[in-house]
Structure 1
Amino acid sequence: MGDKNLMENILLLEKGVCDLFLHGTIESSTSSVHQAFSTALHDSLGMQDTIYDMMAEKGWYPAEQAEQKKIDSVRQKFSSQQAN
């Protein structure tokens, strides 16, 4: 297994962990449990961000720059929906 494949797998696992911690935070029944899940979620999001940055730096997770025209179109669509 190459480094790129390994990093992709780690990133997918970390995203899954973030999802579990998010649901744990939302569904927690006490403030202490909520705080524990919330802290774990925050830490996991930081790890996910670090992994993403490492992959992007190596060109393994390319991101495309959105065209300004498309951004403006989406912004207009959602601002008109909020006005209604």
Structure 2
Amino acid sequence: MDDKCIMENLLNTTKGACDLYLHGTLESPTMNVHQAFDNALNDCLCMESDIYKKMSAKGWYTTEQAEQQKISKVKNQFAGM
């Protein structure tokens, strides 16, 4: 397993943890539980961001610029709602 694969696995695992913490935050029965999940979610989001930045810097996670025409089309599609 190479470094890129390890980082992809870390990123996917971290994203999954963020999802769990989000649902824990939303479904919390008390403020103490809510705060605990919210703190964990924020820490996890920071970790996910750090992993993404490292992968992006190595060229392992590339993105492409969306075309302005497509952005405008989607924007107009939802403007009427």
* CA distance, structure 1, for counterparts of residue 41 and residue 52 of structure 2: 16
Structure 2 segments unaligned to the other structure (5+ residues):
none
After TM superposition, list the pairs within 5 Å mapping 1:1-84 onto structure 2.
1-80=1-80, 82=81
How much is the aligned-residue C-alpha RMSD, in angstroms? 0.6
Structure 1 segments unaligned to the other structure (5+ residues):
none
TM-score, with length taken from structure 1: 0.94
Q: Percent identity?
A: 56
* Aligned-partner residue type, residue 77 of structure 1: Q
Structure 1 segments of 4+ aligned residues over 3 angstroms from their partners: none
Structure 1, residues 20-70: CA drift from partner, whole Å, max 9, x if none? Answer: 101110111000000000010011001001101111111101101000000
* Aligned-partner residue type, residue 22 of structure 1: L
* Secondary structure of 1:60's aligned partner: coil
Between the two proteins, the alignment pairs up a number of residues equal to 81
* CA distance, structure 2, for counterparts of residue 52 and residue 45 of structure 1: 10
